[in-house]
Structure 1
Amino acid sequence: MPECTNCGAYTKYNGGLCFKCYQEQRNGEEIEEAPNSEVVMPDESENGLTDRDRNYRYNMIKGRIAETLIQELFLSLGYNVFRYGMENTIPGIMELLKGVRSDVASQIRRMPDFVIQDPKSKSVYFIEVKFRASENFSFKDLPKNYPYENAYFILVSKSHIKCITYKELQEGGEITPTSRNYLGGRKEFDLQKQVIIDFCEFAVQFFKGVE
């Protein structure tokens, strides 16, 4: 589920800002909001992207690539994969929840990216995908009161694909460059390690040089 990098509220793309924070960072400069909730950047076509705009779109693209990698990985292994994020599950609700602050609204905004189903056991799992060039992810990186305590977090980096659960994070576990919590080691998924290696090579190609 994409979150604002400033306040943790729902935002349409990974690594971006919610509309409110984006407005504040522009120091009150008026920004029109398109009907589909995407931010329209002023004078973009004439003057090119500002540094802030470039960073917003750059992070959005990184998040999308990471999600696609994981989606295709599980599909290639025969899993049923369903996009579960707020904008996919409840089209149009983004508009309705603007400015709404409640436990229910917060949980909807934090819906995981995917639901996957093991075709053999029929077990289903919540999957949240993150890209981190640093390969670091811990409990403090979660939004406050994160509601999906049975979620799995898959971290894509420039060289590895690792996985950790909410409960493991809560108990002090974390993903680091030296940790060995590789996705291929999750017994719940029973994945073919060579396929994961192949997708790690894709990640290396796509994210080489990415910060």
Structure 2
Amino acid sequence: MKGVRSDVASNIRRMPDFVIQNNKGEVFFIEVKFRKSEEFKFKDLPKDYPYENCYFVVVSKKHIKCISYEELKNGKEISPRCHNYLGNRKEFELDKDVIIDFCNFAVKFFDAV
């Protein structure tokens, strides 16, 4: 995609990072954001963000948190004090031990950031 200038290339660049499916067959858009500050708000999104059914996974040096577009739109946000942990999201049916292992890896990986 480097150097490609077209409507299709622009659309691909704006797409969420992942599409995941849970055990019930439900499908979700996922955007992953690294935030050293552990903060993510609605104003951090582009004005015309088109994926209103997206979830945002916010990775920091200490936690992995998650919030939906709808929650952001309604004034909720990710902050160091919030408890929006990825493992608490019932939609995804994730294994909390796997999240803890990844979080430990992320802490080591982002140590120099």
TM over 0.5, shorter chain: yes
1:112 match: 16
Could you tell me which runs of 5 or more consecutive residues in structure 1 were left unpaired when the two chains were aligned: 1-11, 13-35, 38-93, 98-103
* 2:6 corresponds to 1:96: yes
- Three-state SS of the structure 1 residue aligned to 2:32 is strand
Among 45, 48, 54, the residue aligned to 1:145? 48
The residue that corresponds to 2:80 in the other structure is 177
Confirm or deny that 1:190 pairs with 2:100.
Answer: no
Q: How far apart are the structure 2 equivalents of 1:185 and 1:116?
A: 16
* Counterpart mapping for 1:44-55 below 5 A: none
Q: What letter is aligned with 2:6?
A: L
Name the counterpart of 1:72: none
Q: Which has the higher strand share?
A: 2
Return the offset for 1:194. 1.2
Percent identity over the alignment? Answer: 65
**Larger Rg, first or second structure (1 or 2):** 1
Unaligned runs of 5+ in 2: none
State the match for 1:21 in structure 2: none
| Secondary structure at 1:95 match in 2 | coil
Among candidates 41, 50, 63, match of residue 160 of structure 1: 63
CA distance in 1, matches of 2:63, 2:37: 11
**In structure 1, what is the Cα distance between the partners aligned to 2:13 and 2:6?**
12
Pick from 97, 106, 109: which aligns with 1:203? 106
What residue is the counterpart of 1:32 in the other structure?
A: none
Asked if the contact 2:21/2:92 (under 8 Å) is kept, the reply is no
Does the CA contact (< 8 Å) of 1:107 and 1:147 recur in 2? no
Whose RCO is larger (CA < 8 A, sep 6+)?
2
Q: Give, in whole Å, the separation in 1 of the partners of 2:64 and 2:38.
A: 9
**Is the helix fraction higher in 1 or 2?**
1
Structure 2 CA distance for aligned equivalents of residues 142 and 105 of structure 1: 20
Q: RMSD of the alignment, in Å?
A: 1.9
Check the 8 A contact 1:131/1:156 in 2, yes or no: yes
Aligned residue number for residue 9 of structure 1: none
| Corresponding residue for residue 40 of structure 1 | none
Deviations 1:46-95 (A, max 9, x none): xxxxxxxxxxxxxxxxxxxxxxxxxxxxxxxxxxxxxxxxxxxxxxxx42
Distance in 2, matches of 1:200 and 1:144, equals: 31
